[in-house]
Homo-oligomer: A and B are copies of this chain.
Amino acid sequence: MISGVATLDDVARRAGVSTATASRIINGSSKPVSAALRDRVEAAVADLHYVPNAHARQLARSERTAVGVVVHDVSDPYFAEITRGLQRVATTDGRLVIICNTYRDPARELDYVELLRAHQVAAMVLAGSGYHDAGFARALRGKLRAYELTGGRVAVIGRHDRTGDAVVPDNEAGGYLAGEHLYALGHRDVGVIAGPRNLTTTTDRLTGVRRAARSHHRPPPKVAYADFDRDSGARATADLLAAHPRLTAIAALNDSMAVGALAHLRGVDRRISVIGFDDMPIARDVTPALTTIRLPLADMGALAMSLALSPPSPHPRVERVPAELIARESTFPLDATLSVRP
């Protein structure tokens, strides 16, 4: 009863049994125990408000029970959605999940991987990683490899230069779908609001848009870089429009930035098509309702967690997730755009 916290010893002493017996009763061991002792131990547990020390138990059992998740930021709707899926399957499996926010800081990401390993997690899933930085990539690969060598399981969401289980959304195809949609509507001058340059999500989606431009025999779209959030999207839209007044359509590489673009456009009274990416819940509630490329984020999270919790397979499993066009009201034919300008 050091520092006021009741221990198994306290319980055993109070019930007049050995710690072995108390432990068996508390854990519902299969070993038979007389009803009298059971009652006494249970009474002691209740009286002392005893709760077993999870660390001591973990140490003694030396089995890994929790799982770790490292993402950019759970508060961000994109990751919130992924996390929802992750949690669902982790909880179903009776596991505690430890969530770590990196805020896109590579150093922090490395630290968290180590911290999770120190906490003996059974598995970890990484999302929103995948920076274009050779040094970081090597360090991360090293840490993950070390973790896997000791029996840890890891699954990654998104493209990664690492071989291992992964869930990878088809961002390139999604980007193509977005561009294709715009060019097919007759737009000739398309702008792109991109995310941070060093993320593969950005480059993959952008590559897709560019491919669409090529296949329609158009020059590469103009690109402005932003931060995947609403306000930076609004700013980038303003910049892009100022620099290229002839644009009639904008592909934002995620919905948050698309919403920002819409907000900016509302202010300047220009009728420009906007397409987003991800199909976040907000997409259908803005006006005009946002045309976007849907990714089944929650499912991706769930899938990644099941991969991470399943026994390792000799060949890394890579689940490709297709993107899908959701046409709503924020995109329209070039004709419609022009007819409005008198």
Q: Which residues of A contact B (CB under 8 A)?
A: 2-6, 49, 51-59, 62, 73-75, 77, 80-81, 83-84, 87, 96, 98-99, 101, 114-115, 117-120, 142-143, 146, 149-151, 230, 259, 262-263, 281-282, 284-287
With a cutoff of 8 Å between Cβ atoms, the chain B residues found around residue A230 in the complex are 281, 285
- Closest A-B pairs by Cβ, 3 of them: A287-B287, A49-B146, A75-B80
Q: How far is the CA of A119 from the CA of B5 in the complex (A)?
A: 12
Q: How far is the CA of A87 from the CA of B56 in the complex (A)?
A: 27
Q: How far is the CA of A119 from the CA of B117 in the complex (A)?
A: 17
Q: How far is the CA of A114 from the CA of B259 in the complex (A)?
A: 42
Chain B's nearest CB lies how many Å from the CB of A266? 8
Q: How far is the CA of A230 from the CA of B283 in the complex (A)?
A: 13
Contact B75 A81 (CB under 8 A): yes
With a cutoff of 8 Å between Cβ atoms, the chain B residues found around residue A263 in the complex are 284-285
Least CB separation from A73: chain B residue? B84
Chain B's nearest CB lies how many Å from the CB of A69? 10
Least CB separation from A290: chain B residue? B285
Least CB separation from A79: chain B residue? B75
Contact B49 A53 (CB under 8 A): no
Counting every copy of the chain, the complex holds: 2
Q: A5-B150, A77-B77, A282-B282 are in contact. Are A51 and B114 (CB under 8 A)?
A: yes
With a cutoff of 8 Å between Cβ atoms, the chain B residues found around residue A87 in the complex are 101
Q: How far is the CA of A316 from the CA of B83 in the complex (A)?
A: 35
Q: How far is the CA of A285 from the CA of B230 in the complex (A)?
A: 10
Least CB separation from A61: chain B residue? B55
Contact B101 A115 (CB under 8 A): no
Least CB separation from A58: chain B residue? B55
With a cutoff of 8 Å between Cβ atoms, the chain B residues found around residue A6 in the complex are 150
Which of B57, B62, B83, B120 sits near A75, CB closer than 8 Å?
Answer: B83
Which of B2, B73, B118, B143 sits near A53, CB closer than 8 Å?
Answer: B118
Q: How far is the CA of A120 from the CA of B143 in the complex (A)?
A: 27
Which of B49, B114, B149 sits near A4, CB closer than 8 Å?
Answer: B149
Chain B's nearest CB lies how many Å from the CB of A114? 6
Chain B's nearest CB lies how many Å from the CB of A307? 21
Q: How far is the CA of A178 from the CA of B127 in the complex (A)?
A: 40
Which of B2, B84, B115 sits near A54, CB closer than 8 Å?
Answer: B115
Contact A51 B285 (CB under 8 A): no
Least CB separation from A57: chain B residue? B118
